[in-house]
Structure 1
Amino acid sequence: MLVPVTIREVMNPTVETIGPDLDAAAVAELLHGKDIGSAVVVEDGDPVGIVTESDVVGLVAEGYDADTVTAADCMSTPVVTIDADDSIEAAVDRFREHTIKKLPVTDEGDLVGIVTTTDISYYLPHFTRRTTTSSGSTADRHHRERVDTAYEREGWEFESLGPHDDRIETGDVVKFTKTLSQEDVEAFAEASGDTNRLHLDPDYAQGTRFGRPIAHGTLVVGVVSAALARLPGLIVYLSQDTSFLGPVDIGSEVTAECEVVEDLGNGRYRLTTRATADGDEVIDGEAVVIADPIPDTA
């Protein structure tokens, strides 16, 4: 099921607060005693900074007296916060922009919780994925015509880009587009056994948070699989990490785009995988595949 997730749903509502005048030794004792990694510094009810374990350790390592230095002296400020009703994607952007790992959460100005990169990674596994600079040359990439699929349909579109027609290379990109029709949804429900009424019963779906029927999440991921099948070679799925970013309406045109970002050796490759529905991003993640040679029986 595809559903946008807000900070309110993933945050820890228990957040430890301290005053700016608390000495660093007491801060360290609090963090150790509570087995927590940070405390939010609050003044007159407003968050003004955040102190982490590394802040205190760094201060002591520099030779400061932990009994005389205060939280205000070692806290990170101004504090970066996020609203409880913001999306988890907004939190990812803030983590990356400010190079931080913890965000105090506010609701109409009140401190209501804290969210960390670990909390987010449970919902967006690709947030913690390895980043690898593409080493493949893109200068001589061209549109590859051959695909080893059993058949193609009118209305399906694909584009496979890379320097070689017979093998994969880092930097290769493949795209596949199709419309997910009512017939597709019904056929998938029958084939998979997933007859959740959210996808099949308009009256039932009207009372849900979506207000209408939506396509199965796994059916949408299937478009990613279809894109991968149009890479050179015999492509075999090994793994797929997927984050669902929004619902897909039945009848939407879905485009999956996959890029080879790492050669893992032994014919294995890591790819980023994303999909859009009528232009809106609905899937983000990564996959690992094996690219075997085309069999002689082909």
Structure 2
Amino acid sequence: MQTPARTITPGSPIVEAATRLRDEGIGSLVVERNGECVGIITESDIVAVTAEEGDTRELTVGDVMATALVTIAPEADLEVAVDRLRTHGIKKLPVVEDGELVGILTTTDISRYVPHITRPDASREPQPERRRFTRPDTLYEDDDWEFDSYGIADGIDVGDHVRFAKTLSEADVERFAEVSGDTNRLHLDDEFASGSRFGRRIVHGTLVSGLISAALARLPGLTIYLSQELSYRGPVDIGERVTAHCEVVEQLKKDRFRLATAVDDSDGECVVEGDAVVISDPIPDTA
């Protein structure tokens, strides 16, 4: 779990909650009243109410928060946490001990620490043999790049996971700016960036999250993006080595899967987190 969990009161304005989520690089705030957990508010809640209401200046956290709060104890098994997240269709679990909030657990936290969590009835089913892939289905590799990919030989399955790491150099930033057209001076101009909230140039957020796509390319089979939900939790410095992590957490259809995705900075702190939905096709026969 992450600790401490960030909190807010139900009487706080929605604008304050949105500002804190942005500035603190987090995806949710646990709502407390007189030391008691009474709800949770997430980025998705704020986006939904803004789309519906338009003007949210008069709204408070209490008007928007989810009050059916699902929590978990710190000593609970991770399998219990995964089952609770899946059953309730949520991504964040406040961790409560003796009525006191002690942390928060997210799908991304679980995906980073658990290579594979067995499905409830997995003991009744024959499980495919997973192996470490040392030669991916990519056109080329680079000496600076590192990856580990674990899965089955003819596609992907729940529990498969992959890690991809590379250094985001100044040349990468400059090439990305030219190719994408994102020539924001925050990424390219030292003097300009020194006056920003960061005090320095930083890597484009989209370039950082692009490592998730690089990781997915190193899963078995041909992986095709359908969607990607992302939260940006912190900046990445130019020249920093970052690592993308992806784990298959749910099979939606025969060839469609949901993955927990994240990117960590060189200190192991999560700077991007989210969920992806992909199609997994067989590798085309080029013989």
Per-residue displacement from partner, 1:53-83 (whole Å, max 9, x unpaired)? xxxxxxxxxxxxxxxxxxxxxxxxxxxxx9x
Alpha-carbon distance between aligned partners in 2 of 1:207 and 1:7, rounded to the nearest angstrom: 30
User: Of residues 191, 216, 228 in structure 1, which corresponds to 2:179?
Assistant: 191
| Aligned amino acid, residue 185 of structure 1 | V
Alpha-carbon distance between aligned partners in 1 of 2:37 and 2:128, rounded to the nearest angstrom: 34
Residues 143, 262 of structure 1: alpha-carbon distance in 2 compared, 3 angstrom cutoff: same
Residues 56-75 of structure 1 aligned to structure 2 (within 5 Å): none
Per-residue displacement from partner, 1:277-298 (whole Å, max 9, x unpaired)? 1122101100001111100126
Moved over 4 A (4+): 116-120, 128-134, 136-140
Is the 2:221–2:280 Cα contact (8 Å) retained in structure 1?
yes
Is 2:35 the counterpart of 1:89? no
Per-residue displacement from partner, 1:202-233 (whole Å, max 9, x unpaired)? 00000111100000011001101000010011
User: Of residues 148, 156, 167 in structure 2, which corresponds to 1:159?
Assistant: 148
**For the pair shown, which has the larger CA radius of gyration, 1 or 2?**
1
Q: Provide the aligned C-alpha RMSD in A.
A: 3.7
Q: Which residue of 2 aligns with 1:257?
A: 245
Q: Which residue of 2 aligns with 1:233?
A: 221
Alpha-carbon distance between aligned partners in 2 of 1:290 and 1:116, rounded to the nearest angstrom: 39
Is 2:215 the counterpart of 1:269? no
Residues 37-48 of structure 1 aligned to structure 2 (within 5 Å): none
Is the 2:262–2:273 Cα contact (8 Å) retained in structure 1?
yes
Residues 103-252 of structure 1 aligned to structure 2 (within 5 Å): 114-115=60-61, 130=90, 135=119, 141-162=130-151, 164-252=152-240
Residues 90, 297 of structure 1: alpha-carbon distance in 2 compared, 3 angstrom cutoff: closer
Alpha-carbon distance between aligned partners in 2 of 1:160 and 1:193, rounded to the nearest angstrom: 32
Moved more, 236-245 or 145-154: 145-154
The number of residue pairs the alignment matches comes to 208
Question: TM-score normalized by structure 2?
Answer: 0.62
Per-residue displacement from partner, 1:214-257 (whole Å, max 9, x unpaired)? 00011001101000010011111110000000011111111000
Alpha-carbon distance between aligned partners in 1 of 2:200 and 2:131, rounded to the nearest angstrom: 41
Question: TM-score normalized by structure 1?
Answer: 0.60
